[in-house]
């Protein structure tokens, strides 16, 4: 417990440090999230290997970096929104094709991989296709974290978003970033506290035996309140308050958003747990003593970042 508390405190401090750099420049936070995305992709590939679901770790690990470069070019060239969706799809397909061809062409390497998984009877073409499909899954799932946070961090840099009426758009971006982390962390922490205290019926005993319905409800309520408190604290800044008034954003918006984000975050946690459970592993990694791997810490954030970005497009 002591090790978990110390590690958790260090993680929070590092997250806070990179979050507040957004006030001055987005690139440090981009790097931070990019590293997490690559590490998360690698961790998921390792878990899939336990299930004998083969992937290409090189292509998976390079995907976030390639996507970042493409999206940055799109920002510079002031591209419309559908270009960014196209970048994601085109890069995914391109890596799929290249990965497939490499697997087919380099037969010695493919033979070694098939020997490792004890599937020598499988044809090279079928192995290559299955490997590429598994790799694509990993690119979409953890890499979605990076893509969503990139959009959030650079929200007002996009040509299709008008931030000209805002006195301090960086402050708005910082708020939504902190809001995402607060709702996620409070939901996760209070779900554990309330669930451990009140106990009661299990939420999903087969996938995650420690999760309870009381914990899920407690996490939902406190997560929403944590997000609402974050909004209130930011409104103490007169510039932020005026901007929210100008945009027509009311406090109750964040009750709705916080509720949705909290539910989605818990669902993301269950999805990650289901993948671990199917592979019969406790954690995605061991990089954080007492907490597991990167994916054990960001499983809810992957979905929450996407939910908050969608909310930003709706209300801003």
Residue spans of the domains in the chain: they are: 1-23+164-316, 27-153
Report pLDDT for 294: 86
Report pLDDT for 203: 81
> Cβ distance 59 to 99 under 8 Å?
yes
For residues 181 and 305, what is the distance between their CA atoms, to the nearest angstrom? 9
Q: What is the dihedral of CA 275, 276, 280, 284, to 10 degrees?
A: 140
Cα–Cα–Cα angle for 6, 11, 14, nearest 5°? 125
CA distances from 296 to 59, 148, 162, 278 (A): 22, 18, 36, 15
Report pLDDT for 2: 66
**pTM of this structure:** 0.92
For residues 98 and 128, what is the distance between their CA atoms, to the nearest angstrom? 10
For residue range 250-263, list pLDDT tens digits in order. 999 999 999 999 99
- Burial of 277 from C-beta contacts in 10 A (0-12 / 13-18 / 19+): middle
Helix, strand, coil percentages (3-state) for the chain, rounded to 5, are 75, 5, 20
Report pLDDT for 268: 86
Ranges in the chain, pLDDT < 50: none
Beta strands in 130-207 (DSSP E): 202-204
Report pLDDT for 11: 84
For residues 110 and 122, what is the distance between their CA atoms, to the nearest angstrom? 11
């Amino acid at each position: 417990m002591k090790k978990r508390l110390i590690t958790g405190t260090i993680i929070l401090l590092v997250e806070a440090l990179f979050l507040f750099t957004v006030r001055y420049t987005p690139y440090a936070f981009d790097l931070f999230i990019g590293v997490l995305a690559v590490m998360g992709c690698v961790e998921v590939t390792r878990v899939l290997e336990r299930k004998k679901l083969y992937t290409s770790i090189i292509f998976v690990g390079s995907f976030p970096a390639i996507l970042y470069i493409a999206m940055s070019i799109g920002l510079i060239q002031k591209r419309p929104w559908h270009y960014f969706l196209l970048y994601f799809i085109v890069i995914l397909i391109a890596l799929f094709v290249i990965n497939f061809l490499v697997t087919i062409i380099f037969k010695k390497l493919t033979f070694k991989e098939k020997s490792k998984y004890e599937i020598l009877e499988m044809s090279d073409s079928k192995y290559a296709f299955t490997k590429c499909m598994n790799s694509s899954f990993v690119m979409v799932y953890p890499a979605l974290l990076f893509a969503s946070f990139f959009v959030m961090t650079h929200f007002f840099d996009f040509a299709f978003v008008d931030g000209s009426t805002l006195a301090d758009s960086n402050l708005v971006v910082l708020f939504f970033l902190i809001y995402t982390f607060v709702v996620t962390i409070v939901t996760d922490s209070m779900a554990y506290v309330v669930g451990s205290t009140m106990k009661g019926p299990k939420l999903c005993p087969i996938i995650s035996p420690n999760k309870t319905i009381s914990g899920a409800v407690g996490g939902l309520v406190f997560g929403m309140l944590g997000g609402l408190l974050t909004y209130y604290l930011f409104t103490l800044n007169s510039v932020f308050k005026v901007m929210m008034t100008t945009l027509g954003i009311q406090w109750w918006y964040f009750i709705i958003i916080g509720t949705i984000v909290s539910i989605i975050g818990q669902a993301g946690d269950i999805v990650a747990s289901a993948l671990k459970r199917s592979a019969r592993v406790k954690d995605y990694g061991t990089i954080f003593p007492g907490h597991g791997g990167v994916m054990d810490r960001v499983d809810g954030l992957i979905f929450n970042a996407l939910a908050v970005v969608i909310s930003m497009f709706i209300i801003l």
